[in-house]
Homo-oligomer: A and B are copies of this chain.
Amino acid sequence: MLSKKCKYAIHALVYLAEKYQEGPVHISEIAQKRHIPKKFLEAILLELRNAKVLHSKKGKGGGYYLHQKPSDVNLMEIIRLMDGAIAMLPCVSLHYYEPCEECRNEKTCGIRDAFIKVRDETLAILGGSTLDKILKREKALALK
């Protein structure tokens, strides 16, 4: 399960994607509109900024805005930034690999195979899920 932090991040980024190229957006505005605790959101946006997903502007008229185009930000990277590994086992993780304590011999472990497949399918789907696609879908569903 994704953490709340991660879900908040996704919602905030979708919100900012909606306002892409409309200038900086206040933390307070996002917090209010998406029902996210402001202080928590502050920490999240800061992290996204440090990861170069967002840019920010301080002082009056400041706020946060997307650093990249909505079509260049996908769920895979957001989740990795917020929650870390996407794989279900550390020993099959691409970005957060660690040997499994339980396994004596990774080479002959019959369990890993399934989790490698899950990882690959998951990455393909999440990597293809960009903010602009999410927005488009949102609009399409609203019309029904």
Write the residues of chain A forming the contact surface with B, with a CB cutoff of 8 angstroms.
1-2, 4, 7-8, 10-11, 14, 34-36, 75, 85, 87-90, 100-102, 104, 107-111, 113-114, 117-118, 121-122, 125-126, 128-129, 133-139, 141-142, 144
Task: Give A144 to B22 CA distance when docked, in angstroms.
Answer: 59
Task: Give A4 to B88 CA distance when docked, in angstroms.
Answer: 11
Complex contact A109–B138 (CB within 8 A): yes
Which residues of the other chain, B, contact A144 by a CB distance below 8 angstroms?
107
Which residues of the other chain, B, contact A101 by a CB distance below 8 angstroms?
35
Complex contact A113–B88 (CB within 8 A): no
Which residues of the other chain, B, contact A122 by a CB distance below 8 angstroms?
118, 121-122
Tell me the nearest residue of chain B to A93, going by C-beta: B1
- A-B contacts besides A114-B126, A117-B125, 11 pairs, CB < 8 Å: A1-B90, A11-B102, A75-B114, A110-B134, A110-B136, A110-B138, A111-B134, A114-B125, A114-B134, A118-B125, A121-B122
Complex contact B141–A107 (CB within 8 A): yes
Complex contact B137–A110 (CB within 8 A): yes
Min CB distance A74 to B, Å, is: 9
Closest 5 CB pairs of A and B: A110-B138, A110-B137, A114-B129, A121-B121, A110-B134
